[in-house]
Amino acid sequence: MFALFMILWIVFNGRITLEILIIGAIVSFLLVLLTRRMSGEKFRDVMLGKWEVYHYLGYLFRLVGEIAVSSWRVIVLVLHPGREVKPKLFYFEPDIEREGIRVLLANSITLTPGTITVGLRGRVLHVHSLDPSFSDGIETSDMVRTLEKIDHRCTQREGCGE
């Protein structure tokens, strides 16, 4: 996890200097402490990382792609003359045991244009979509399946937290 935060720090800064590396290491370390506290995972596992880091990176790329596609869909919906916007509130329960991963999914849905998570009660997500087409297939989307896979593999092993 430390390496992931450090890489993101460098990417967001756009250059590498000694000052950026030192501050990035401090910020990354503090984020690791916060992540460990929220997830309940062992400090060693969070610092050194686990196989999940690679799956989270894959998830991040899927999320960025989904944000791009959804942005385009919202633009088309809003600028299409005569198209009526029909908001929809729906509920779904992903097959995710760990609360932290459910929160990650809820935040990812909110980041995706056209949808917003308005509630998370237990394992059920309450999602508002700008149009019913934005909610179609969300339960079986790649983002949800990837997080379910991460959750299932983690709950099968010892020391994953929660």
Q: Token pair of 6, please?
A: 């450090």
88 contacts 131 by C-beta, under 8 angstroms: yes
All structural domains of the chain with their residue ranges: 1-49, 50-162
Q: CB neighbours of 104 closer than 8 A, spacing ≥ 6?
A: 147
Number of neighbours of residue 108 by Cβ within 10 angstroms: 21
Q: How many whole angstroms separate alpha carbon 134 and alpha carbon 138? A: 8
What pLDDT shows up at residue 7?
81
Q: What is the pTM of this model?
A: 0.67
pLDDT by residue (tens digit) across 59-71?
888 888 888 999 9
By percentage, how much of the chain surpasses pLDDT 70?
82
What pLDDT shows up at residue 48?
46
Cα dist from 25 to 2, 41, 51, 58, 78, whole Å? 8, 20, 21, 23, 43
pLDDT by residue (tens digit) across 30-41?
887 777 666 666
Res. 114: pLDDT tops 80: yes
What pLDDT shows up at residue 50?
55
Q: Which one-letter DSSP state was computed for residue 138?
A: G
